[in-house]
Structure formats: structure tokens, C-alpha cells
């Protein structure tokens, strides 16, 4: 049994029989390559199949409504009229709200954990916060229904007193609302923003900080004017990842959003989201067109998250290059 020249095995496919081919096959190298290659190809196949299934199974809805599916707001299963706008609206508004609350808190905490807290405390707190990311979304929903909504009901009068003059905080409040969904989503995405942003901030070279401090900058000026701009791309990446997650989040939103396909200016009104309507109506959908419209919503959601995830990836890779 002579040793095989390992340099060739990695690059040669099974279809090119070279002098040592049979020997390599016997020693298992080609077999290992082929087996793992097939698994890798299977991943591509599954993803391709997923896109194909979404596309073909939504054909009835796509051919009937065309692009107007995205911009009409009637959702009437009884008369077979389907428009996705209220759901797209709800998904975008709740995610935007989540970012509005989540970004300052998440980035602030990441700055504290990376720059100010003593390493031991920082590690312990990060450990705790990262555990939050592992909590299943249905549990966030459960807490949203029984903990957050009662709290919001109590704070709602104050909220209205302060912001009631805007159209965003007017009208009656039943507890379930776009606002509640946004708050639950914020709680869910904060751990993501913290853990990734902290990593990125920690990777900023120490001499950047030392140089700024030596020039007489305060701790905060060093952090805000030197470290954060340096880590900006990575932080943006973490925000996009968080956005992608909140766009696709289903259970927690379904449980607190109110499930009402209307477009209203007030955040205190119940709304709906793409993922929530699929979760709620899929099993009840009668008729091919209804199911097909729901699958098209799935396709829309898929496209939306792919774009956002792609941007996050580009930003984080960009940040990697800096290191």
C-alpha cells in the first residue's frame, strides 16, 4: 500500500481516470470525495427545489393577479380576491419599529460590553444575553400575550398623552397591535445585534483607541468617533441580520399582532404580517387560488429575506476584510 499523492486527489473529479485512479478509489479517497460532494450538491438541490416549489405552486395566484398582487389591499377569500399589501405593510412596519427600538438599545449595550465593562462582567453578561437568542419564538409569543400586552395596556394612556397628537398613536387600543408586535420583535432581535456588534467592536485594533486617548479624547469620544466608525460595517451587518430575522418571524408576531388585514396609520391598531397570515390561514385555505395566494406570500417573504440577508452578508464580509 503506497501512499497516494494527496495533492492531486482534491482537484481531480471521479470522471478523470488518471494512473492512480483505481488505487485512490480503493484507498477510499475518491469515495470520500464523491459521497461528501453528493451531500454538498444535495444542499444546492434542496434549495433549488424550495424556490421551484414556491414558484410553481403559486402559479394560479401569479397568473390571475400578476404584479398587482403586491399593491392591492383587498384580502377576501370568499370572493377569491387576494392582495398582499396589508401584510407587506404589517411586516415592514413591525420590523421597522423593532429596529427603531432595538438598534439604540442593542448597539448601546454592545458598546458598553465591548469597551467599558470589565472583561469578566462583559463575558458573563454576553453569555446571558446570547442565551436570549436561543429562546424559541413561541415562548416570546407566550410572554408577549400574557406579560407584555398587560404592561402595554397600562402604559398606553401615558403613551397617548405624550404622542397621541400624531396619527401613529391614536384610536382605541385593544392590546394586540402592530406596536405590541414591534416591541416583542425588538426584544427578540436585541441579542443578535448585541452579540455580533460586540464581536465587531472588540476586533477593532487597540492602537486606534490608544492613539485617540493619547490625543486627549475622552473615553466616549474615542468610542463614538474612532471605534464605532471603524466597526460601522459590521454593526450595519448585524442590523440587517436582525431585520431579516424580524421580517420572517412568525409565531411571536402571530400571537400579538391582532391578525386584521387592514392598513391603518395608528400603530395601536391591530394589523397583520405576511408570516402571520400564512401561519393562521394555510390550514383553513379552501380552494386552489387561496392556497396559491398564500404560497405567493411565502415567495414574497422569501425574496424579501434573501435580499436583506445578502446585504448583511456583504457588509459583514466587508467588515472581515478590515481585520
Partner 1 sequence: MTNLHTLRRKTVNIVMLTITGLCTLFAAGTLIYILGYLFVHGATSLTWDFFTKLPTPVGESGGGMANAIVGSGKLLFLASVFGIPIGFLGGVFLAEFGGSTFSYIVRYVTDLLNGVPSIVIGIFAYTMVVLPQKHFSTLAGGLALGVMMIPIAVRSTEEFLRAVPDSLREGAVALGASKAKSILTVVIPAAKNGIMTGIMLNLARVAGETAPLLFTSFGNRYWSSGWEQPISALPVMIFTYAVAPYEDWHKQAWAAGFVLLTMVLTVNIIARAVLSKRKHVAR
Are 245 and 192 spatial neighbours (Cβ–Cβ below 8 Å)? yes
Are 178 and 94 spatial neighbours (Cβ–Cβ below 8 Å)? yes
How many residues does this entry show for the chain?
323
Are 179 and 267 spatial neighbours (Cβ–Cβ below 8 Å)? yes
Residues 165-184 that bind partner 1 (CB under 8 A): none
C-beta of 230: minimal distance to partner 1 in Å? 17
293 binds partner 1, rule: CB under 8 A: no
Are 122 and 113 spatial neighbours (Cβ–Cβ below 8 Å)? yes
C-beta of 244: minimal distance to partner 1 in Å? 6
CB atoms within 10 A of CB 293: 28
C-beta of 170: minimal distance to partner 1 in Å? 27
Residue among 152 and 266 whose Cβ is closer to partner 1 = 152
153 binds partner 1, rule: CB under 8 A: no
Per-residue x/- mask for partner 1, residues 252 to 271, rule CB under 8 A?
A: --xx----------------
Q: Pick from 279, 289, 314, 322 the residue near partner 1 by CB under 8 A.
A: 279
Residues 41-60 that bind partner 1 (CB under 8 A): 41-44, 46-47, 49-50, 53-54, 57
Q: Pick from 14, 17, 22, 38 the residue near partner 1 by CB under 8 A.
A: 38
Phi, psi of 237 (to 5 degrees): -60, -45
- The C-alpha atoms of residue 2 and residue 272 are separated, in whole angstroms, by 67
Residue among 149 and 267 whose Cβ is closer to partner 1 = 149
- The C-alpha atoms of residue 65 and residue 67 are separated, in whole angstroms, by 6
Segment interacting with partner 1 (CB under 8 A) among 67-75, 163-171, 202-210, 273-281? 273-281
Q: What is the CA radius of gyration of the chain?
A: 25
Nearest CA-CA partner of 291 in 46, 45, 53, 50: 53
Residues 67-96 that bind partner 1 (CB under 8 A): none
Q: Pick from 14, 17, 22, 28 the residue near partner 1 by CB under 8 A.
A: 28
Cell triple for residue 15? 470522471
Residue among 55 and 164 whose Cβ is closer to partner 1 = 55
C-beta of 303: minimal distance to partner 1 in Å? 10
- The C-alpha atoms of residue 173 and residue 266 are separated, in whole angstroms, by 10
C-beta of 55: minimal distance to partner 1 in Å? 11
C-beta of 219: minimal distance to partner 1 in Å? 6
C-beta of 265: minimal distance to partner 1 in Å? 27
Q: Pick from 70, 128, 211, 265 the residue near partner 1 by CB under 8 A.
A: 128
Are 87 and 274 spatial neighbours (Cβ–Cβ below 8 Å)? yes
Q: Pick from 14, 100, 146, 225 the residue near partner 1 by CB under 8 A.
A: 146
Are 232 and 318 spatial neighbours (Cβ–Cβ below 8 Å)? no
CB atoms within 10 A of CB 108: 13
250 binds partner 1, rule: CB under 8 A: yes
- The C-alpha atoms of residue 58 and residue 299 are separated, in whole angstroms, by 8
Mapped onto helix, strand or coil, the DSSP state of residue 105 is: helix
C-beta of 267: minimal distance to partner 1 in Å? 21
Residue 304 CA, chain-centre distance (Å), reads: 10
Segment interacting with partner 1 (CB under 8 A) among 74-82, 185-193, 202-210, 262-270? 185-193
Residues 92-121 that bind partner 1 (CB under 8 A): 104-106, 108-109, 111-113, 115-117
Amino acid at each position: 500500500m503506497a501512499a497516494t499523492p494527496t495533492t492531486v486527489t482534491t482537484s481531480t473529479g471521479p470522471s478523470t481516470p488518471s494512473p492512480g485512479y483505481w488505487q485512490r478509489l480503493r484507498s477510499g479517497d475518491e469515495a470520500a470525495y464523491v459521497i461528501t460532494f453528493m451531500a454538498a450538491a444535495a444542499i444546492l438541490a434542496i434549495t433549488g427545489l424550495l424556490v421551484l416549489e414556491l414558484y410553481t405552486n403559486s402559479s394560479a395566484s401569479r397568473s390571475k393577479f400578476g404584479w398587482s398582487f403586491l399593491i392591492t389591499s383587498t384580502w377576501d377569500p370568499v370572493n377569491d380576491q387576494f392582495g398582499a399589501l396589508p401584510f407587506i405593510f404589517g411586516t415592514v412596519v413591525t420590523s421597522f419599529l423593532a429596529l427603531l427600538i432595538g438598534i439604540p438599545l442593542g448597539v448601546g449595550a454592545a458598546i458598553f460590553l465591548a469597551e467599558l465593562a470589565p472583561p469578566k462582567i462583559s463575558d458573563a453578561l454576553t453569555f446571558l444575553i446570547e442565551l436570549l437568542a436561543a429562546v424559541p419564538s413561541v415562548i416570546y409569543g407566550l410572554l408577549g400575550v400574557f406579560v407584555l400586552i398587560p404592561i402595554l395596556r397600562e402604559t398606553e394612556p401615558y403613551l397617548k398623552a405624550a404622542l397621541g397628537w400624531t396619527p401613529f398613536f391614536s384610536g382605541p387600543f385593544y392590546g394586540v397591535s402592530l406596536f405590541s408586535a414591534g416591541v416583542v420583535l425588538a426584544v427578540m432581535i436585541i441579542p443578535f445585534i448585541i452579540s455580533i456588534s460586540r464581536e465587531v467592536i472588540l476586533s477593532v485594533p487597540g492602537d486606534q483607541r490608544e492613539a485617540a486617548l493619547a490625543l486627549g479624547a475622552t473615553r466616549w469620544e474615542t468610542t463614538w468617533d474612532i471605534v464605532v466608525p471603524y466597526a460601522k460595517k459590521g454593526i450595519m451587518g448585524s442590523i440587517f441580520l436582525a431585520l431579516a430575522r424580524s421580517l420572517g418571524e412568525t409565531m411571536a408576531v402571530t400571537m400579538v399582532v391582532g391578525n386584521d388585514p387592514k392598513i391603518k396609520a395608528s400603530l395601536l391598531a391591530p394589523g397583520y404580517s405576511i408570516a402571520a397570515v400564512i401561519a393562521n390561514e394555510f390550514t383553513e385555505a379552501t380552494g386552489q387560488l387561496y392556497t396559491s395566494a398564500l404560497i405567493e406570500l411565502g415567495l414574497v417573504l422569501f425574496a424579501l429575506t434573501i435580499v436583506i440577508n445578502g446585504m448583511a452578508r456583504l457588509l459583514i464580509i466587508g467588515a472581515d476584510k478590515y481585520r
